[in-house]
Chain A
């Protein structure tokens, strides 16, 4: 497997994308994972530049614009990063989008999967990579990928944490889309590993969700949601706490499954309600969790070390990491790439993006759990060889 990652901070969209394309073109990538920040407003120009640089109109592209980029050379709040892969034709890469994710998250995923089923011709892909517009209830995406898809689905929700959500878009080959999920099926004997870190310390006592509608959590533990968080943490939920305070759902599902729901905002503060990054249901048992920067950093290093110790030899790595972690760490998230470089060497192709909700199965008893939607999570997808080993 040939792989290469590249990044740029060139301000002009065409020039930046042209640079990425030209840089990747020497490995003749079959697929490019593309992540860019929202500063490139002129996405058609950007995509022209990329394909001009790649000089191959058939390269499959999946990705999203958002709050920053990860790449081997840099972790940045501005710019673009791309990871190109060339399996020598062993792996077929299929990309499809499902529209209407805001109103119909389940339907959007199903529509994308149905489109992918055509080229898959009944084959199961090694895995799916999924990016979605943030403006939806991701827990409803989870219900489909968890209950209806029996291969790993890895990905995240694309958004911007700096009030430029309107500029966000998703990349599905040459098309820039909104209000969609975009999915890529890796169709072939591609080995991979998924590592997910979501250790976040619970505090206080658990409470049962008394009232919730989608992502809006109204009442927990006999009081309104904001009061519950304050009661259990000793302080009110603040604007600057967005993304760094989460609720863990204790009755998450099957063995080994764990869910976190980060608190997005208290826009319903008048009534004491809290909006979450992902839906929650009445009757769920939740406990407030507070992230400790030291723990977050230590866990990423532990994941990288554990992956290296497993003997897996990656050709490339994709990182989907919660933007709430970035906020909590003051933007100092270089270590999320640095830990991988330390574990696997500095030449490993790496790319990724800060997300507003992460997707992936958890390691459990030598296998993977069902596909889950997470918050406050670091997802590492290691891509290996194409011989199925």
Chain B
């Protein structure tokens, strides 16, 4: 609670009952709800000109008639006669209490006003924050809308670009597929051509092998025919003597023997060629003796070797039989020899090739073909079986010889081929194939 509202002050002397006589000061007037008894209002106004706004309580002045005036809700002015002071004073306690409560209400109202002012300011700031945030969010929404629109357009553009690019890629893919098919076809044709070139080489060998006995037989037959015509003419003229007949008969016997010998040789060659040529030309498997295939192959390879200073040594197991593809084996051997003659001895005076055959564990055949030639450098060795790999491109090398070896051994004979080489010492191919070839792949 604030100060006690029981202050009854007066400037009158003697002080009426209940009043304290004081020399009135501002402190007295403003020390809370007070009851002040003075002769007139001038005494108050002189001390406190703005007493109406600042004082709380009751100011009693001596005047008649009795009159009561509310200066403010907390300050009253009572005019009364001196003999009425006692009566009025009896009301003062409750009256001043009411003034104190009114003053308290005024303080609370002021505090409320202040609080309202503070809240209003906080609301103003909050409103400003809200507006700022709203504007900020709107700007962000606008930015997002623009971005979304741009993204939509970009997506649309991207979609059409993707479609166009997809079509281009499909076309390019189709073109590439076509090109790849063509390349595969070309590769097959090249391989087939190389194989046919092998056949051509074989035919040349055949022709060379048959040429001598048949030529000799033809010469003999021609000489025999001439002798026969000469004897017939002499006989018709009656000039045929015994001596001439003996000579003719002897000559006929010699020529017949010559013819028989050479034609027999030709027949033997043809039989060999027939066996190999038929096998090389087709890929039918059957049971055969390896020795027959090698002998046949070597027969038509002989002319190639005979014109050189290089030799081929055979170290063969003559007992080996296979259920496989003799044409493929012949082609492999042909390509080994041809490849060696073309590459192995370049700029060498002499050279030796060795062909070995042997059985190896697992019912397999090992064919080893080696030379003591130039060898292959290490960086080229891994590429030796790749198609079209050649170091003599444009000089007769197709680059398919060893590739054909590789595919025939792997795909048809069901085996494997390996190569080792030491530069300046030579190269060695090792083919390992099963004695019974696998069933052909579908």
Complex Cα spacing A79 to B114, Å:
11
Contact between chains at A22 and B117 (CB < 8 Å)? no
Contact between chains at B2 and A78 (CB < 8 Å)? no
Contact between chains at A240 and B32 (CB < 8 Å)? no
Interface centre among B27, B106, B117 (most CB of A within 10 A): B27
Contact between chains at B111 and A10 (CB < 8 Å)? no
- Nearest residue (CB) in A for B3 is A19
Contact between chains at A14 and B32 (CB < 8 Å)? no
Contact between chains at A22 and B111 (CB < 8 Å)? no
Contact between chains at B54 and A39 (CB < 8 Å)? no
Chain B nearest CB: distance from A339 CB in Å?
A: 23
Chain B nearest CB: distance from A203 CB in Å?
A: 19
Contact between chains at A49 and B30 (CB < 8 Å)? yes
Chain B nearest CB: distance from A325 CB in Å?
A: 15
For A12, list chain B residues within 8 Å (CB): 30, 54
Chain A nearest CB: distance from B127 CB in Å?
A: 10
A294-331 interface mask toward B, CB cutoff 8 Å, 1 = contact, 0 = none?
00000000000000000000000000000000010001
From 84 to 138 in chain B, residues with beta carbon under 8 angstroms from any chain A beta carbon are 103, 106-108, 110-111, 114-115, 117-118, 121-122, 125-126, 128-129, 132-133, 136
Q: Is B219 an interface residue (CB 8 A)?
A: no
Could you show 16 A-B contacts with beta carbons less than 8 Å apart? A10-B103, A15-B54, A15-B56, A39-B114, A48-B26, A52-B27, A53-B27, A77-B115, A162-B117, A163-B121, A236-B136, A238-B133, A240-B125, A240-B126, A327-B122, A331-B115
> Of the candidates B26, B30, B118, B133, which one forms a contact with A331 in the assembled complex, judged by CB atoms under 8 Å apart?
B118
Interface centre among B32, B103, B111 (most CB of A within 10 A): B111
Chain B nearest CB: distance from A82 CB in Å?
A: 15
Q: Is A18 an interface residue (CB 8 A)?
A: yes
From 64 to 107 in chain A, residues with beta carbon under 8 angstroms from any chain B beta carbon are 76-79
Contact between chains at B118 and A77 (CB < 8 Å)? yes
For B27, list chain A residues within 8 Å (CB): 18, 49, 52-53
Contact between chains at A10 and B2 (CB < 8 Å)? yes
Complex Cα spacing A240 to B128, Å:
9
Excluding A15-B56, A238-B129, 14 further A-B contacts by CB distance (< 8 Å) are A8-B2, A10-B107, A14-B26, A19-B32, A39-B110, A76-B111, A77-B111, A77-B118, A78-B110, A78-B114, A162-B114, A238-B133, A239-B125, A239-B129
Chain B nearest CB: distance from A26 CB in Å?
A: 13
Interface centre among B30, B54, B107, B117 (most CB of A within 10 A): B30
Chain A nearest CB: distance from B106 CB in Å?
A: 7
For B108, list chain A residues within 8 Å (CB): 9
- Nearest residue (CB) in B for A37 is B114
Q: Is B232 an interface residue (CB 8 A)?
A: no
- Nearest residue (CB) in B for A14 is B30
Contact between chains at A15 and B111 (CB < 8 Å)? no
The 4 A-B residue pairs with the shortest CB-CB distance in the complex, in nearest-first order = A238-B129, A239-B125, A9-B107, A52-B27
Complex Cα spacing A265 to B91, Å:
57
> What residues make up the interface of B, taking CB atoms closer than 8 Å to A?
2-3, 26-27, 30-32, 54, 56, 103, 106-108, 110-111, 114-115, 117-118, 121-122, 125-126, 128-129, 132-133, 136
Complex Cα spacing A9 to B2, Å:
10
Query: Total interface residues on A, using CB and 8 Å?
Result: 28
For B114, list chain A residues within 8 Å (CB): 37, 39, 77-78, 162
Interface of B is mostly: helix
Chain B nearest CB: distance from A67 CB in Å?
A: 9
Contact between chains at B110 and A9 (CB < 8 Å)? yes
Q: Is A175 an interface residue (CB 8 A)?
A: no
Chain B nearest CB: distance from A159 CB in Å?
A: 14
Complex Cα spacing A207 to B30, Å:
58
Contact between chains at A11 and B121 (CB < 8 Å)? no
Chain B nearest CB: distance from A4 CB in Å?
A: 15
Complex Cα spacing A48 to B26, Å:
10
Chain A nearest CB: distance from B386 CB in Å?
A: 59
For A22, list chain B residues within 8 Å (CB): 3, 31
Chain A nearest CB: distance from B413 CB in Å?
A: 72
For A331, list chain B residues within 8 Å (CB): 115, 118
Complex Cα spacing A327 to B121, Å:
11
Complex Cα spacing A52 to B25, Å:
11
Complex Cα spacing A170 to B110, Å:
23
For B54, list chain A residues within 8 Å (CB): 12, 14-15
Chain B nearest CB: distance from A2 CB in Å?
A: 21
- Nearest residue (CB) in A for B2 is A19
Complex Cα spacing A14 to B122, Å:
30
Complex Cα spacing A53 to B136, Å:
56
Chain B nearest CB: distance from A76 CB in Å?
A: 7
For A18, list chain B residues within 8 Å (CB): 27, 30-31
For A15, list chain B residues within 8 Å (CB): 30-32, 54, 56
Complex Cα spacing A19 to B3, Å:
7
For A14, list chain B residues within 8 Å (CB): 26, 30, 54
Complex Cα spacing A327 to B119, Å:
10
For A77, list chain B residues within 8 Å (CB): 111, 114-115, 118
- Nearest residue (CB) in A for B31 is A18
Complex Cα spacing A48 to B29, Å:
14
Contact between chains at A11 and B125 (CB < 8 Å)? no
- Nearest residue (CB) in B for A241 is B129
For B133, list chain A residues within 8 Å (CB): 236, 238
Complex Cα spacing A8 to B117, Å:
20
Complex Cα spacing A171 to B281, Å:
125
> Of the candidates B106, B118, B128, which one forms a contact with A11 in the assembled complex, judged by CB atoms under 8 Å apart?
B106
For B3, list chain A residues within 8 Å (CB): 19, 22
- Nearest residue (CB) in B for A21 is B27
Complex Cα spacing A297 to B258, Å:
135
For A327, list chain B residues within 8 Å (CB): 122
Complex Cα spacing A238 to B130, Å:
9
For A239, list chain B residues within 8 Å (CB): 125-126, 128-129
For A240, list chain B residues within 8 Å (CB): 122, 125-126, 129
For A163, list chain B residues within 8 Å (CB): 121
Complex Cα spacing A313 to B53, Å:
45
For B115, list chain A residues within 8 Å (CB): 77, 331
Chain B nearest CB: distance from A342 CB in Å?
A: 24
Chain A nearest CB: distance from B49 CB in Å?
A: 13
- Nearest residue (CB) in A for B117 is A162
Complex Cα spacing A207 to B374, Å:
74
For A39, list chain B residues within 8 Å (CB): 110, 114
Complex Cα spacing A235 to B365, Å:
84
For A162, list chain B residues within 8 Å (CB): 114, 117-118, 121
Complex Cα spacing A162 to B114, Å:
9
Chain B nearest CB: distance from A353 CB in Å?
A: 16
Complex Cα spacing A53 to B31, Å:
9
For B30, list chain A residues within 8 Å (CB): 12, 14-15, 18, 49
Chain A nearest CB: distance from B26 CB in Å?
A: 7
From 359 to 379 in chain A, residues with beta carbon under 8 angstroms from any chain B beta carbon are none
Chain A nearest CB: distance from B229 CB in Å?
A: 121
- Nearest residue (CB) in B for A23 is B3
A4-47 interface mask toward B, CB cutoff 8 Å, 1 = contact, 0 = none?
00001111101100110010000000000000010100000000
Interface centre among B2, B26, B103, B114 (most CB of A within 10 A): B114
Complex Cα spacing A48 to B121, Å:
33
Contact between chains at B136 and A78 (CB < 8 Å)? no
- Nearest residue (CB) in A for B128 is A239
A237-276 interface mask toward B, CB cutoff 8 Å, 1 = contact, 0 = none?
0111000000000000000000000000000000000000
